A and B are shown apart, each in its own frame.
Chain A
Amino acid sequence: MSRKSRPNAALVIDDDPNCREMIETLGLVWGVPVLQAANCKEGLKVIKSEHGRIKLILLDYFMPGMEPAKCVASIIAAAGSSIQIVLMTAAADPALRAAELKVKHWLSKPFEMSSLQALLTA
């Protein structure tokens, strides 16, 4: 009986390349592989191809090319219940935005690195 490896990667879906790169670099430091997608469409492709590896999706609120609600619904549908989704936003009311999208966890930009580390390394 073969032992299946646990998902350990995080997927960052954010249009800001510097933010994606920063999370990838921090993931490297903390030993967590980080996948990147610049928009929702790309993110769905990555989820499809790397579904078994992904344990966490860090999703920016403003998703280029798709409305936030539609984007989150597509991501949740593609990811299934096993992948935790965390909303990242620089908006003034992150809790409200998360509630609108029915996402339980959120990070307000600029976020504390300890919070990000806790999510990535959990």
Chain B
Amino acid sequence: MKHQISVGHRLILLVAFQTSIAAVLVFIALRAMSAVAADARYMYQFQYLGVQEIGKAMEVAARLQSFFATRSFGSHAESPVPISDVIAQLETFYKRYREEWETANGSTPDAIRFRRDLFGSGDTGLLEKEKKAQLDIEESIRTLKADEEGDGSKTPVQTRWSHARQLRRNLAALYAVNLDYTRLANEHVANRTQRARNWLFTIGILGTFLTLLLGTFVHRAIAPRIRRLVTKVNRFRDFGVHEQNVETGKDEISLLAHALDTGFAAIATRDREREEFLAITAHELKTPITSIHGYSKLLIDHPERASLFPRALEIIHRQSWRLSRLVEHLFLAMRARSGQLHFDPKPLDLSTVVQHVLSELRALISSEPFSVNCKPNVMILGDEVLLEHALWSLFASASALSQGDLPIKVVLDTEGACARVTADVMSTERSAQDIETLFMPFQSVQYENDSGIRAGVGLYLCREIVRLHSGRLGVRELPNAGFEFSMELSR
């Protein structure tokens, strides 16, 4: 499966989607809250306040009716408020009702909205009742006003009481209509609130479901692949098994898988090289032990063969020295790896060191593998022990890599402030590039030549020793099928 969309983009998409859902929910919640607040204002100002004011007008009308009733029973008490003021009060109420609370013909936004609601719910009969109640109230007020303006003494008190009662009844009718209005308005508001709640719930559930679905897709696109990687890492850790990864995409997990692949391949290669190195090293160590073991056994089992003793002891001595040299070489290579190579420079003659190392090697090889041209008295500042090891591994490697019968040409010369040791090797099978890998740790040479000496531990130690001497170890191809090792040291 190809994964082209990056993990980061998947997560951004998921977060963006979740944020969108949250934004929609917040938006709907804010709208619902605004609607609830608007409904609360509407219910109070348009419905409850209207009902309350009608109630007050009814009280005024009741007091007026009560006053006329008292007068009709012969009382001569005066009204505490002039009748004309009471009528003016009722006129003011009626005018305010028409402006602020009338639904049937009202032009306020609340009236228009409520009218729409009434049409929506089919309760238009109330509008007619309201119109009729209004006309009746208007007529009653006009009659009471005419009674008062036409000199109250001309209209019998009984009649005026009857007009006041009619006004109170008309107000009661309007009150009843407005109570129905309030009940219906309350139902409409409750329905709207319920709808907003349903919307919030639906969007919330849908958003949660879609978020979970998208999260699951993102999870499926990431988690199994990470689990596969972890399994691979664990298998590599436990069994050293490196399996080629199957990630073919271009996202971060694929990149991580490729990086792990490269790392594991490098570790596997390094392990293989280390195993080969250990096998070669063990081989190198066992070779001198074979001679030491065999000759020592000969001396023990056949003490009467005195004529064989000098040669046997000589070989035991030589091979034990070779063994010691190999062990020391490994020890120094390990110290070099940890950066703890001890360096103790002193003035020395490099030509003497080169000759000494070559003589040691000659003793281990049956044929003469070297042709030597050493400039005498090449004084340098160096660590003699380390340089012996460096030259030993350089010449041994050259011997191991050499093909054919031509000897290795060793030259020591000076060039300005530099002493230069070169070893020319005839070989058609290896390039200088191949040879350079021997400078890395845990590289080894398996010999394929006729002269025989093995160089098991490569040239890593040699390179590190030369580096300690601020020198340079290199290899270059020769024009006539071969290559040249060169060791340059400061004089």
Q: Which residues of A contact B (CB under 8 A)?
A: 15-19, 21-23, 25-26, 29, 38-39, 62, 64-65, 90-92, 109-111, 113, 116
Our pick among B279, B295, B302 for the contact of A22 (Cβ within 8 Å) is: B295
Interface pair B452/A38, CB less than 8 Å apart: yes
Q: Which residues from chain B contact A17 at a C-beta distance below 8 Å?
A: 365-366, 452
Given known A29-B298, A109-B287, contact A21–B315 (CB-CB < 8 A) = yes
Q: Which of B281-310 contact A (CB under 8 A)?
A: 282-284, 286-295, 297-298, 301-302, 305, 308
Q: How far is the CA of A37 from the CA of B89 in the complex (A)?
A: 143
Interface pair A65/B449, CB less than 8 Å apart: yes
Q: Which residues from chain A contact B454 at a C-beta distance below 8 Å?
A: 62
User: In this assembly, does B450 line the interface, its C-beta being within 8 Å of a C-beta of chain A?
Assistant: yes
Interface pair B449/A64, CB less than 8 Å apart: yes
User: In this assembly, does B472 line the interface, its C-beta being within 8 Å of a C-beta of chain A?
Assistant: no
Interface of A is mostly: loop
Q: How far is the CA of A91 from the CA of B364 in the complex (A)?
A: 20
Instruction: Looking at the assembled complex, report how far the CB atom of B402 sits from the nearest CB atom of chain A, in whole angstroms.
Output: 11
Q: Which residues from chain B contact A116 at a C-beta distance below 8 Å?
A: 294
Q: Which residues from chain B contact A90 at a C-beta distance below 8 Å?
A: 282-284, 286-287, 290
Instruction: Looking at the assembled complex, report how far the CB atom of B456 sits from the nearest CB atom of chain A, in whole angstroms.
Output: 11
| Number of interface residues, chain B, beta carbon within 8 A | 37
Q: Considering the complex of A and B, which 4 residue pairs feature the smallest CB-CB distances, nearest first?
A: A90-B286, A15-B452, A17-B366, A110-B290
Q: Which of B438-455 contact A (CB under 8 A)?
A: 446-452, 454
Q: Which residues from chain B contact A26 at a C-beta distance below 8 Å?
A: 294, 298
User: In this assembly, does B319 line the interface, its C-beta being within 8 Å of a C-beta of chain A?
Assistant: yes
Q: How far is the CA of A91 from the CA of B281 in the complex (A)?
A: 10
Instruction: Looking at the assembled complex, report how far the CB atom of A90 sits from the nearest CB atom of chain B, in whole angstroms.
Output: 4
User: In this assembly, does B242 line the interface, its C-beta being within 8 Å of a C-beta of chain A?
Assistant: no
Interface pair B319/A110, CB less than 8 Å apart: no
Interface pair A113/B297, CB less than 8 Å apart: yes
Interface pair A29/B293, CB less than 8 Å apart: no
Q: How far is the CA of A113 from the CA of B296 in the complex (A)?
A: 10
Task: List 24 A-B pairs, Cβ < 8 Å.
Answer: A17-B365, A18-B288, A18-B364, A19-B290, A21-B311, A22-B290, A22-B291, A22-B295, A22-B315, A29-B308, A62-B283, A64-B450, A65-B448, A65-B449, A90-B282, A90-B284, A91-B282, A91-B283, A92-B283, A109-B286, A109-B289, A110-B289, A110-B290, A113-B298
Instruction: Looking at the assembled complex, report how far the CB atom of B284 sits from the nearest CB atom of chain A, in whole angstroms.
Output: 8
Other than A21-B311, A90-B283, A116-B294, give 15 A-B pairs with Cβ distance below 8 A. Answer: A16-B287, A18-B288, A18-B319, A19-B294, A22-B291, A22-B294, A22-B295, A25-B311, A25-B312, A38-B366, A64-B447, A92-B282, A109-B286, A110-B293, A113-B293
